[in-house]
Amino acid sequence: MSSLIFIFLLVIVLHVVLAREIRRNEEIISFDQNYKVTWGDNHVMSINQGKEIQLTMDYSSGSGFASKITYGSGLFHMRIKVPGRDSAGVVTAYYLNSQGNSHDELDFEFLGNREGKPYTLQTNVYANGEGSREQRISLWFDPTTDFHDYKILWNPHQIVFYVDNIPIRVYKNNSNIGVGYPTKSMQIIASLWNGDWATDGGQTKINWTYAPFKANFQGFDVSGCQSQSLNIDQNCLSNSYWWNDKQYWQLDLIAQKQYENVKQKYMNYDYCKDRQRYPIAPLECLH
């Protein structure tokens, strides 16, 4: 009995140590270690010795950054605070993207809105050059006032988008029945740009009175498998990477419940249910 208690305590202690370790990495790893500025140089500001980055958009330019290397699997995350006040037409994006033709892409896109109206968070999945798989949710918090954590799990079995550890989208590897699934090395990218199309289907435009728009980013640690060739390095599919381990092959019961709840309460657009665009639901929607 006492040995059981001991093991129980040990597990708790290990959990705490591990959580602190992850937290510590996040605090220690600075922007320059894993990322570089790729767009709008003078619109990017480093804060607190590179522990935080602020992207700015004004009439002359937006801005962005990207990972120095490309990856073939991982559990990617970024802590983000999106532009406040009137942000209609302003898009903050955090995504994975491959090079060349028939590209793969996994997107978080925050679609700004008029002051007082809620942000919409759009996700999309491109595989082999095919996208048009938009889903949109309204968030259960105001993403402009605090940092929240946005994650993308990508392993050989599933892609999961998380908001503060709540799964908001699952895309399964159904390649055995002919559904596209990313196979190319991807770079991590974040940007702030003029998305004229984004708000109310493009009808609500940017009000430049409110420029410059500012988005802040933290958490430049990366848990990913380096993969430098166009197609992912087969090594990145190995179960020895923790994000490829069996517990990440599907949502557990609690996560499944959370996901159902998000779909019921917060999802306001799902391409799987759009019969005008897709008279027959795409194959992946049935599984």
Ligand X SMILES: *[C@@H]1O[C@H](CO)[C@@H](O)[C@H](O)[C@H]1NC(C)=O
Q: List active site positions.
A: 105, 109
Binding to ligand X by CB under 6 A, coded x per residue (else -) over 6-45, reads ----------------------------------------
Task: State yes or no: cis peptide before 156, omega within 30 of 0.
Answer: no
Residues 229-258 within binding reach of ligand X (CB under 6 A): 237
For ligand X, give the closer residue by CB, 42 or 238: 238
Least distance CB 115 / ligand X (angstroms): 8
For ligand X, give the closer residue by CB, 203 or 209: 209
Q: Which long-range contacts (CB under 8 A, 24 or more apart) does 175-179 make?
A: 177/283, 177/287, 178/283, 179/127, 179/282, 179/283, 179/284, 179/287
Q: How far apart are CA 240 and CA 228, in angstroms?
A: 19
For ligand X, give the closer residue by CB, 175 or 258: 175
207 belongs to the binding site for ligand X (CB under 6 A): yes
DSSP state of 214: E
**# of chain residues touching ligand X (CB under 6 A):** 9
> Dihedrals φ, ψ of 163, to 5°?
-120, 115
187 belongs to the binding site for ligand X (CB under 6 A): no
Least distance CB 85 / ligand X (angstroms): 9
Least distance CB 14 / ligand X (angstroms): 30
128 belongs to the binding site for ligand X (CB under 6 A): no
Between strands 52-57 and 135-138, the pairing is unpaired
Amino acid (1-letter code) at residue 114: R
Least distance CB 157 / ligand X (angstroms): 7
Single residue of 2, 3, 101, 209 touching ligand X by CB under 6 A: 209
CA angle 141, 75, 23 (to 5 degrees): 70
DSSP string, 156-177: SSEEEEEETTEEEEEEE--GGG
Which residues here bind ligand X, judged by CB under 6 A?
156, 173, 175-176, 181, 183, 207, 209, 237
